[in-house]
Amino acid sequence: MVEFPPRRKPSRKGSMADVPKDLLEQIKDLERLFTVDQAKLKEVTDHFVKELEKGLSVEGGSIPMNPTWVMGYPDGHETGTFLALDMGGTNLRVCEIILPEEKGEFEIIQSKYRMPEELKTGDSEELWEYIADCLQQFIEYHHEVEDLADMNDKQHKLPLGFTFSFPATQEYIDHGVLQRWTKGFDIAGVEGKDVAPLFEAALEKRSLPIKLSALINDTTGTLIASHYTDDTMQIGCIFGTGCNAAYMENCGSVPKIAHYNLPPDMPIAINCEYGAFDNEHVVLPRTPFDLIIDEDSPRPGQQAFEKMIAGLYLGELFRLVLVDLHDNKNVKIFEGQDIGKLRKAYSLDASFLSFIEEDPFENLSETGELFAKELGIQVNKPELELCRRLAELIGTRAARLSACGVAAICKKKNIQSCHVGADGSVFNKYPHFKARGAQALREILDWPTGKRDPVDIRAAEDGSGVGAALIAALTIKRVKAGNLAGIRHAEGMM
């Protein structure tokens, strides 16, 4: 996960008055490379719409467009006590969520457990044992032992929504076949398998009174949790270490599930996994530095869109450009200095750029101190101006391209007005990201100036906690109503 420092004072405007000619020319070249104009935004968005459609087809495309078997939004009247398990890259979070009688309200208690690094590349059984152990610690701490024994005696199990935020295909809401590990995980023997039985076996081994009701992605949870508190939310997005979106589609518009013979107007949430947009490299304005990031990544040729906008890659883009400029004999930057630390791949993350963009001083003194402290490089004023402009260009390009995915869903669904629930460290903490994305949406969708934006991207509710609990509640509600589409083990959910 990308960690950002606390927000600081508003940043200053900057001046190029003292920048020598060679660096000014480099800045202009960088502006040409990284600027995405309105025409390009529209071209990317139009291609995005076609790729979303292709992903829903029987043949499929680069964007997986995974059906989630979340069949509709909550109405605000869901009630009960639910567990939520959030398996992220750094931490494991366990929540107990109480949905009271009051519409759109919830109470939450939660605990975080560190995900040991050795588990990420270890043994499959050890991973599920550790997760079950954390759940056991949580419920024993928050419930009396007698209550737990009573639950087991009466076969009353706490319904659990499991946020498993890795690409997975789901034929049922309570199962999920892992397509591939991401976020630094690489555990042998799990890819291509259903993770639900592996998880359930670990619960059974400890006789825990827990029933897996739904396996979800954090983006789908973001959509559902945000709609629960604001019924104008129609899209859920993540802009963080990675990027993704989810929205509600009609079953009749998803040819690849036509064989289920569901009512065409029945809603179903789609987890786009659109970080894979344009893996064919048809339309995205990739620079030579984007090509290097792709070639040197663990999976070249995949996640093309994500590699241009996600927090994991912004610092690396910045680093690659600076190393290239230093090694260019025609450019004088960091002369006579050891840039060994800067040469280390992924030594900078998005928070480094964030810090530079938020430097409030005219002389960029805080940026200079950052370079000295983190990289051992003394940076003069013109070089600081170049670094500042480069950070702005990379951050702005990411925000503007991120708007294309939102705009594409709006165009595909003919959404004229809605709120979009967004989460993730880049959206929440990277300076100006929201404003830059909003400006790009205006340019793509040709909104009139001087009026309120009809599509407004806002901070989302807790998707991986509250969203997971709500989806568990919705699944149980469907079982009680006899709507068992996409539910494998309905028994025990009543």
Catalytic residue among 86, 174, 218, 294: 218
Distance CA 198, CA 202 (A): 7
Task: State yes or no: is 286 an active-site residue.
Answer: no
Which pair of structure tokens corresponds to residue 484?
Answer: 């068992």
Catalytic residue among 12, 180, 343, 458: 180
Which of 85, 54, 491 shows the shortest CA–CA distance to 272? 54
Distance CA 260, CA 486 (A): 9
Distance CA 273, CA 219 (A): 9
Cα-based distances in Å from 54 to 46, 84, 171, 234, 274: 13, 33, 19, 21, 12
Task: State yes or no: is 180 an active-site residue.
Answer: yes
Distance CA 160, CA 138 (A): 13
Distance CA 94, CA 199 (A): 15
Residue 211, phi then psi, degrees to nearest 5: -120, 120
Which pair of structure tokens corresponds to residue 217?
Answer: 């992605």
Does an H or E element contain 268, and which?
strand 267-271
Non-local (6+) Cβ contacts of 154 within 8 A are none
User: Left (φ > 0), alpha (ψ -120 to 50) or beta: where does 446 sit?
Assistant: left
Distance CA 41, CA 38 (A): 5
Strand order in the sheet with 158-164: 107-114, 91-99, 80-87, 158-164, 210-216
Catalytic residue among 62, 86, 93, 165: 165
Distance CA 392, CA 185 (A): 31
Distance CA 268, CA 258 (A): 12
What angle is formed at CA 179 by the lines to CA 177 and CA 184, rounded to 5 degrees?
120
Token pair 């701490």 in the structure block, residue: 141
Task: State yes or no: is 150 an active-site residue.
Answer: no
Distance CA 315, CA 4 (A): 12
Does an H or E element contain 26, and which?
helix 21-34
Which of 245, 220, 248, 270 shows the shortest CA–CA distance to 464? 220
Residues carrying an active site annotation: 165, 180, 218
